[in-house]
Amino acid sequence: MKLRHLPILLALMGSALFADGFTLHSTDLSGQLSKTQEAASFGCDGSNISPALSWSNVPNGTKSFAITVYDPDAPTGSGWWHWVVFNIPASVQGVPADFGNVSKTSAIPAIQSMTDYGKAGFGGACPPKGDKAHRYVFTVHALCVDKLPLDTSASPALVGFMLGANTIAKATLVSYYQR
């Protein structure tokens, strides 16, 4: 094999790692978020309930999961992190609706850390009135480690760095919301 073919071979091998069908599902999400997933702060009056999420076709070697929700259209210059959850055990294949409510006890052990709302847990959609529809990117990350060495005070950027270093594969759903 010639060295010039190495990048093509590596690209094909890499795509095979992600072509196993790892998929994120939700019975609560469709193309549009609803008042259920809208924030109950920042001038929004939604229910602030995180959607039920489940995943399938988990990649081999997965030791834990993380969930993130990100709005790349927020008028901040850096987007907006709505939910950051990690250290979900590999035996878990989904989370129920309202899992993002940290005041409720859950049978699923996980850490929900800081969001751009300045607190842990799910922070619903709240785009500015009259702005274009914002994208809300729900992602589950399959991780190669049992736990990230972080706690509830970890910033979204720090968690994102650790996810980047430990993600085997990820699956994403995108929903839109406009007020």
In tens, the pLDDT along 97-111 reads 999 999 998 999 999
Domain boundaries of the chain, sorted by first residue: 21-177
- Tell me: pLDDT of 11 over 70: no
Give residue-wise pLDDT tens across range 13-53.
343 344 379 999 999 998 899 999 999 998 999 999 999 99
pTM of the predicted model over 0.85: yes
Q: How far apart are CA 172 and CA 163, in angstroms?
A: 14
Band (179; pLDDT cuts 50, 70, 90):
very high
pLDDT confidence of residue 153: 97
What CATH number should be reported for the domain whose range is 21-177?
3.90.280.10
